[in-house]
């Protein structure tokens, strides 16, 4: 029933001074940030693809995977803009299991948050240096964002965090685009209330400071399916679901209305191999309806080098230790199929 204070975690300023962003990386990120922003503001017709491992557990395999993505990006750059997933904080429904590299830089060893924060920053910087693609990460803990604020290209708020007030207020001060997932219940009003809150300015306590934000106009919706009271997965990527969300957007009059569809989680019934089929259905709905064509800006896909998942300690290079992912062959084909369908 007590809290043991182990060690002081360095501040964001201390970490950034210790692991700075090289000047050429700043230029790369600024250019890419502008491209992502233009897509969400309807100034660029390209399609966003937020794709990568369920959790980033190994720097070498993650960066090798993103290097492969970079080669494919060059071939589809006129149609698709790829944002690699480097998810360094992993939510656990019941609190059990691997919580991500921010907690455990080595999944086989005990948690070490100080080293974890350094490790995730180094990994994000290495990925940008090698691929020229700023990555997406999940804001599981609002204060962790400040350690990566100058390297992230995209931020996601998960289904279990989207109703939390501190997440909503923090997003209002984030410079990167932020996707708000629908909660596990599937309640669209929760997701939209989060977007409304995040697009407004706020004053609140953050990281030991009183802060004031200006609002984030690039906050938008991510549909990831739902779970009912019996544990049954309920998809929300079908045409009828997408139309309801688009119509809600129109009624609310929010800034930069955008929908990203998560093809895994409850949309795939947790069957990773269904992701290509779901992606194709979403693209077909997008082609069929003018409103959806305007609002559906991209897809979120879980993919790694080796398909499926493994247990911690099995040591299969490039295979997820959390949710199962598409393998590389299926991933590459899917990206080309998406580009041809845009």
> Does 324 have pLDDT greater than 70?
yes
Q: Which fold has domain 12-341?
A: TIM Barrel (3.20.20)
**Residue predicted with more confidence, 99 or 164:** 164
User: What is the band of 244 on the pLDDT scale with cuts at 50, 70, 90?
Assistant: very high
- The pLDDT score that the predictor gives to residue 91 is 80
> Does 97 have pLDDT greater than 90?
no
Convert the pLDDT of each residue in 43-94 to its tens digit. 999 999 999 999 999 999 999 999 999 999 999 999 999 999 999 998 877 7
What's the sign of the alpha-carbon dihedral 163, 167, 170, 174? negative
Helix (H) and strand (E) counts in the chain: 10, 14
> Does 243 have pLDDT greater than 90?
yes
Convert the pLDDT of each residue in 193-232 to its tens digit. 999 999 999 999 999 999 999 999 999 999 999 999 999 9
If you average pLDDT over every residue of the chain, what do you get?
96
Burial of 14 per CB tally in 10 Å (0-12, 13-18, 19+):
exposed
Bridge partners of 308, per DSSP, are: 325
- The pLDDT score that the predictor gives to residue 90 is 81
- The pLDDT score that the predictor gives to residue 58 is 96
Token pair recorded at residue 208 = 């030991």
Convert the pLDDT of each residue in 270-321 to its tens digit. 999 999 999 999 999 999 999 999 999 999 999 999 999 999 999 999 999 9
Residues 6+ apart with CB under 8 A from 197: 168, 169, 171, 172
* 126-129 contacts, C-beta under 8 A, 24 or more apart: 126/59, 126/63, 127/62, 127/63, 127/66, 127/84, 127/86, 128/25, 128/28, 128/29, 129/22, 129/25
- Could you tell me which of 129, 106, 102, 100 has the C-alpha nearest to residue 118? 102
- The pLDDT score that the predictor gives to residue 282 is 98
The average pLDDT across 91-113 equals 86
* pTM given for the model: 0.97
The DSSP-derived string for 55-81 is S---HHHHHHHHHHHHHHHHHHTTTEE
Q: What is the spatial distance between Cα 258 and Cα 247, in angstroms, rounded to a whole number? A: 12
> Does 2 have pLDDT greater than 90?
no
- Could you tell me which of 174, 178, 330, 144 has the C-alpha nearest to residue 260? 178
- The pLDDT score that the predictor gives to residue 98 is 87
> Does 1 have pLDDT greater than 70?
no
- Could you tell me which of 265, 283, 266 has the C-alpha nearest to residue 338? 283
């Amino acid at each position: 029933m007590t809290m043991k204070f182990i060690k002081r975690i360095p501040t964001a300023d201390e970490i950034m001074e210790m692991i700075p962003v090289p000047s050429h990386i700043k230029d790369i990120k600024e250019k890419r940030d502008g491209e992502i922003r233009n897509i969400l503001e309807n100034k660029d017709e390209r399609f966003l693809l937020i794709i990568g491992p369920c959790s980033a557990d190994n720097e070498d395999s993650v960066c090798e995977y993103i290097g492969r993505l970079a080669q494919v990006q060059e071939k589809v750059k006129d149609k698709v803009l790829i944002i690699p997933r480097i998810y360094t904080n992993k939510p656990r429904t019941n609190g059990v299991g691997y919580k991500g590299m921010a907690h455990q830089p080595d999944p086989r060893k005990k948690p070490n948050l100080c080293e974890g924060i350094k490790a995730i920053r180094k990994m994000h910087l290495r990925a940008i240096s090698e691929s020229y693609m700023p990555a997406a990460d999940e804001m599981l803990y609002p204060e962790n964002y400040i350690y990566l604020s100058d390297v992230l290209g995209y931020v996601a708020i998960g289904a279990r965090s989207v109703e939390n007030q501190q997440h909503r207020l923090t997003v209002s001060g984030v410079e990167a685009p932020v996707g708000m997932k629908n909660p596990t219940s599937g309640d669209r009003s929760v997701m939209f209330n989060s977007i409304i809150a995040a697009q407004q300015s706020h004053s609140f306590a953050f990281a030991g400071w009183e802060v004031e934000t200006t609002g984030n106009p690039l906050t938008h919706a991510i549909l990831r399916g739902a779970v009912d009271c019996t544990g049954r997965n309920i998809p929300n990527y079908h045409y009828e679901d997408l139309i309801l969300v688009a119509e809600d957007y129109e009624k609310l009059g929010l800034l930069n209305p955008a929908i990203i569809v998560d093809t895994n989680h409850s949309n795939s019934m947790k069957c990773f191999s269904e992701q290509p089929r779901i992606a194709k259905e979403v693209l077909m709905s997008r082609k069929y309806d003018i409103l959806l064509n305007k609002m559906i800006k991209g897809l979120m896909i879980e993919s790694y080098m080796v398909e499926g998942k493994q247990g911690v300690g099995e040591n299969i290079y490039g295979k997820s230790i959390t949710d199962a992912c598409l393998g590389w062959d299926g991933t590459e084909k899917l990206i080309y199929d998406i580009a041809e369908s845009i």
